[in-house]
């Protein structure tokens, strides 16, 4: 008997949330066969079986948080059988298919059978999918099962945060405990923009220009050491909103790539975020962040800076307002901007110079 423990998934991650098991206790598997899907830092990662043999028991249910190094499964290894690259085992007769998965000792199914669409609906409704009894084929959980579970949930009953929302709650608490946030706001007059302007790419260009004018905001700060690292390369995080929560993929080396390449890369990252297939490393290492919350609504905001970063630029909703130009009142397109920075590492003057450089670029 050998114990398989959750391996180090890289990037300094400490734990992962079980999304779904692809096997059950008693199944025979081969090495590299998908064993379990886990979610870590907002990305879903498939963990393969390390050995061939019979899975004697599994640890944890969907929604459980497992620390790196904690047991995932117990294996009875195939010491004498060759790995043929398919499911291993003497199976003279297949067991009868039950209407629902075999229960664990606590009465919960040992394996949740549900399609990605059903899982997504359960996350959106805040329903623990592992607590639902499936009425579909083979005990699978259907969309109507999730809707029924939602209707039966009492209005005052708390539901645990799972997946991306649990990560968001943890990160926001860490940022609140560490960062000393200050926000400075202003606006850019963008009347000269063409009607087909690529707003996101204009904002990327403005941040690049501002980082060159005031590099202090393209930096990391370590509070314990009171040390700052100013980056030469701009790895720009761009906030992307989804039904599952907020994701911040990274445009690498934004200052040395042309607009077409940046747009192509950003579209690819958005597709990967939507499909929940973006690698964890593509959600880490931002040196500064852009949040275009104005695509949904709002004008100004005091946003949250995620350490070790020291700044985030927020962009509000574009409006048309009366402005004075050459002594006359004219209707002008106005783009509100909010720059939140960590005042431990950035001075007010540095933040203001950064914001003014961004505005100057946007108004060209």
Q: How confident is the model over 199-245, as pLDDT tens digits?
A: 999 999 999 999 999 999 999 999 999 999 999 999 999 999 888 78
> Which of 358, 326, 351 has its CA nearest to residue 204?
358
The tally of CA atoms less than 13 A away on the side-chain side of residue 357 is: 20
Task: Tell me the whole-structure pTM to 2 decimals.
Answer: 0.66
Q: What is the CATH number of the domain that holds 127?
A: 4.10.320.10
Residue 284 lies in a domain: yes
Same domain, 320 and 184: yes
Same domain, 312 and 188: yes
Same domain, 130 and 14: no
End position of a domain, from candidates 42, 69, 94: 94
> Which of 249, 287, 255 has its CA nearest to residue 268?
249
116: Cβ contacts below 8 Å, ≥ 6 apart: none
Residue 173 lies in a domain: no
Same domain, 216 and 352: yes
Q: In the predicted model, what is the mean pLDDT of the chain? A: 85
Residue 259 lies in a domain: yes
> Which of 216, 247, 194, 189 has its CA nearest to residue 44?
247
| pLDDT at site 105 | 39
Same domain, 129 and 78: no
Secondary element (H or E) of residue 351: helix 348-362
| pLDDT at site 127 | 80
| pLDDT (tens digit per residue) in 142-178 | 888 887 887 776 556 677 777 778 888 888 998 999 9
- Choose the weakest-confidence range: 71-80, 229-238, 312-321: 71-80
Same domain, 9 and 136: no
Helix-then-strand count for the chain, H and E: 6, 19
Same domain, 278 and 196: yes
DSSP codes joined into one string, 94-150: PPPPPSSPPB-TTSSBSS--B-HHHHHHHHHHT--GGGPPP-SGGGPBPHHHHHHHH
* Domain hosting residue 130, numbered range: 96-160
Cα gap 291→106, rounded to integer Å: 44
282: Cβ contacts below 8 Å, ≥ 6 apart: 43, 249, 250, 269, 272
Same domain, 328 and 201: yes
Same domain, 118 and 48: no
Question: For residue 82, what pLDDT band results from cuts at 50, 70 and 90?
Answer: very low
Q: What is the CATH number of the domain that holds 265?
A: 3.30.559.10
């Amino acid at each position: 008997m050998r114990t398989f423990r959750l391996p180090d998934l890289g990037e300094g991650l400490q734990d992962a949330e079980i999304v779904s098991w692809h096997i059950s206790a008693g199944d025979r598997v081969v090495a590299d066969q998908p064993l379990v899907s886990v979610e870590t830092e907002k990305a879903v990662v498939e963990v393969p079986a390390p050995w061939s043999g019979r899975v004697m028991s599994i640890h944890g249910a969907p929604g459980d948080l497992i620390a790196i190094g904690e047991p995932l499964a117990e294996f009875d290894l195939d010491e004498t059988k060759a790995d043929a690259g398919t499911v291993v085992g003497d199976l003279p007769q297949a067991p009868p298919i039950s209407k629902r998965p075999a229960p664990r000792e606590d009465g919960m199914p040992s394996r949740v059978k549900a399609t990605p669409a059903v899982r997504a609906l359960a996350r959106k409704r805040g329903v623990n999918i592992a607590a639902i009894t499936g009425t579909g084929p083979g005990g699978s959980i259907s969309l109507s099962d999730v809707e029924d579970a939602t209707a039966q949930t009492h209005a005052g009953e708390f539901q645990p945060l799972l997946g991306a929302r649990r990560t968001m709650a943890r990160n926001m608490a860490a940022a609140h405990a560490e960062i000393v946030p200050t926000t400075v706001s202003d606006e850019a007059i963008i009347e000269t923009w063409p009607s087909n302007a690529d707003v996101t790419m204009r904002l990327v260009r403005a941040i690049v220009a501002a980082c060159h004018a005031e590099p202090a905001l393209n930096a990391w700060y370590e509070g314990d050491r009171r040390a700052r690292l100013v980056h030469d390369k701009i790895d720009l995080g761009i906030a992307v909103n989804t039904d599952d929560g907020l994701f911040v993929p990274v445009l690498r080396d934004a200052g040395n790539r042309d607009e077409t390449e940046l747009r192509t890369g950003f579209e690819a990252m958005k597709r990967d975020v939507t499909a929940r297939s973006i690698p964890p490393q593509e959600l880490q290492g931002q040196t500064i962040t852009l949040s275009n919350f104005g695509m949904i609504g709002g004008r100004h905001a005091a946003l949250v800076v995620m350490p070790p970063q020291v700044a985030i630029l927020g962009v509000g909703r574009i409006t048309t307002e009366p402005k004075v130009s050459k002594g006359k009142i004219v209707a002008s397109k106005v783009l509100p901007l909010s720059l939140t920075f960590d005042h431990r590492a950035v001075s007010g003057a540095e933040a203001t110079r950064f914001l003014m450089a961004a505005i100057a670029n946007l108004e060209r």
